[in-house]
Each structure stands twice: as C-alpha cells, then as structure tokens.
Structure 1
C-alpha cells in the first residue's frame, strides 16, 4: 500500500491556507477567508485559481512556495486521528507500506517519529508537488512492487487520476484536501470519509493477502 502524505497521514490544509494568504498579500491574489477553506475542497484547481485570481500557470510555483514554508511546522503536527493505529494494524497483517511526498525527508521523518509512525517499508520523496503520476511510476519501479497488487490512498482528485494513469487501484481519503464529490470524479475504487471507513474497506476479507 502506498499513501499520499499530506492530507492522508497529516492535515496540512490550515498551514497551506496560512502561507497561501501570506503569498497572496505579497502578490495581489485574493486571500482565503477563514470560513472558505473547506468549500474550496469541492472545486478543481482551475476553479480555485479563477476564484482566487491566481494565474493557473503560477499555481505550481505557489504550491511549492507554500510547501517550503510549512516544512518547519510539519514535525510537530499530530497525525490524522486513527491513522497510526490503522498503519500498525496493516503492518501486523503483513502489508508492505509506502508513501509518496514532496515534503522534505528530514521533516517527514521527524513527523513520523513524533507520531510513532515509523512503519513504512518504502519512501518516495519528490521535488515537485505536481508530478504525482511520474512519482508513482518511479515508486513502483524503485520498490519492485507489482502494481497489480498495489493500492494507492490519496486525498486529491489529481492523486487518483495519477493512480489511474499509472495503472494502480486508488482509494480516496475525503478528510484531506478535496471533497468526496471531487474525488469520485477520478473513479476511485472507494472513497472513505473517515479513517475507520478506510480500515473497514482495506481489512474486508476480499483484500486479505493483498489485491
């Protein structure tokens, strides 16, 4: 199993909004209001850019700038409630676990130590947050895993679309960045609203021993 890091293992949306608003003030973009962040999860990236006045071609740079700013905050954050226990149970049942992230290695590992989640067999660190499909395919190649037996858990529509392009079955985690409705547009195998729903799906008898 491979997990997207931000949004699935840790909720970084409040930090992303905080640092986006700092950038917006500098660049003249519209800031995100305190009560607006969740509703943005139902919009595509193109729609968010249009609403906030951010040129679409600038969004990758804005995204990387936001991520750079919150690396110092990441180690002290708490994991999504229920995820450490789910990972431990999956590990005890023989699942191989991996993650893909554009966070820095030191910050990511510090977060895992802080939350007692040093359970992963495979790690993939990407330099660019908008290269999910390529990163997934590189993860498959470097890990030596059979993509037919791999499940990817992502919290954004583009995560699941990347899984489709890589030939990997994907599950949506609707507690992250994108809404369940937006996630379903990429035709995932399942969308979980809460980690306990993900647990029920993964540990159903159909999935014992892998996909």
Structure 2
C-alpha cells in the first residue's frame, strides 16, 4: 500500500470502549436531569431535524469536560482490542508513520497508551471534540507536508466514512466497533475488514501478517 500515514480512530477501533462511553453518557444525562434521551440516541443524530440536532450537539459540547474527566477516571477498565497492539508494532516496523486522530481528548489517549509502551512516537490529534474530523484530517496532511491521498484513515463509524468522503481521504472501515452492522451502500469506502487479522493482511500483506507475534 502506498500510504505514508495510518490515522487510527481510537474508541471502537483501537480501544474496546463502547460500553464505557455509553455508561458515562448515561451518567451525565441523569446528572443533568435529562430522562427522555438515551445514550444510544446520540448515534442517530445526523438524521434529526436541524433544530433538534443543534440542541443535542450543544448539550454534548456542554458535557464534554465532564465526559473527558469521567473517561479518564475509568481508563483502567478500557483495553485495546485483541491484536491491535501487535498490528501497531508491525505497521511501524513496516515503515508506516502512525497517528491517532480521534474526537476523544489527547490527554485521555496519551494516558491510555502509558500502559502500552511503544518503540515509536505515536502522534495523537483531537478532532476538536465532536465536530470537523474532515477538517482535522486535511490540516494533518498540510502540517505534515503530504497530501490527503497519502493518508489512510481507519475507523469504525459511518461518521468517519462521511468525514473521509468530505476531505477526499481513503478509509478502511472496521466492523468490530460502534457501527459494526451499518450499511455502507450510500458511502464511498475503499476497504472494509471484519477482524484485526484482516486489517493486518490488508496493511502488511498475508505473509507479513502471518509473521506477527
């Protein structure tokens, strides 16, 4: 593959954290007295009327500092998906430059990886909360002196696919995360994988993937 950078999403792609995200969101909804909205409703906000979507997004930005704090307090309960640490190591050895580009907070992701010492520098970029991942991808390419076509984004949400479609980046959609069962018929997706093993074969080739520890 001819990509210079692999940009990984964090929650649902590298980290098995969906259950924790739901639990924290549920806690914050109840803390703020909101009882008619469930955490799962935030997944479907793209299809809401504009006014309702704006209200929901405004609330999400309001609770973001509390969310980040609670997430950080529960980091020890979150782990990498099986095979993802080995994949990161193998991709670095292969010559890929690797970064995490996520809507999660940089400090949370950095603290998380303290448990997984890596022999290479892992760049961590936040996509400004819940907005503008497509803009962040374009900015990343510009800041690193490459074009968007030099990047491969690896993510688990339809929202990731839409962001890549908007900025022109290629995406590998993984089917073990948040939108595992989603239809991709209306999206442009370059690659689709069901397991970390398939992702390793895509990025490294079958022979190299088989050599991983």
State the Cα distance separating 1:62 from its structure 2 match: 4.4
Give the TM-score taking structure 2 as reference length: 0.78
Q: How many residues end up aligned between the 2 structures?
A: 194
In structure 2, the CA distance between the partners of 1:174 and 1:183, relative to structure 1 (3 Å rule), is: farther
Q: Which residue of 2 aligns with 1:160?
A: 161
Further displaced range: 82-91 or 161-170:
161-170
Partner deviation per Cα, 1:103-142 (whole Å, 9 max, x = no partner): 2332211111213346445331233222211111111112
State the Cα distance separating 1:196 from its structure 2 match: 0.9
Q: Which residue of 2 aligns with 1:45?
A: 45
**Partner Cα separation in structure 1 for residue 169 and residue 176 of structure 2:** 21
State the Cα distance separating 1:22 from its structure 2 match: 2.1
Structure 1, unpaired ranges of 5+ = 206-211
Is the Cα–Cα contact under 8 Å of residues 110 and 124 in structure 2 kept in the other structure?
no
Structure 2, unpaired ranges of 5+ = 1-5, 207-213
SS of equivalent to 1:111: helix
Partner deviation per Cα, 1:19-40 (whole Å, 9 max, x = no partner): 22223332122436xxxx6xx8
State the Cα distance separating 1:184 from its structure 2 match: 5.2
SS of equivalent to 1:191: strand
Specify which of 12, 23, 26 is matched with residue 21 of structure 1.
26
State the Cα distance separating 1:2 from its structure 2 match: 0.7
In structure 2, the CA distance between the partners of 1:133 and 1:92, relative to structure 1 (3 Å rule), is: same
Further displaced range: 161-170 or 181-190:
181-190
Give the TM-score taking structure 1 as reference length: 0.78
**Partner Cα separation in structure 1 for residue 150 and residue 15 of structure 2:** 25
Q: Which residue of 2 aligns with 1:114?
A: 115
Matches within 5 A, 1:61-210: 61-64=58-61, 65=63, 67-68=67-68, 69-74=70-75, 77-117=78-118, 119-183=120-184, 185-204=186-205
CA RMSD of aligned residues (A): 2.7
Is the Cα–Cα contact under 8 Å of residues 174 and 183 in structure 1 kept in the other structure?
no
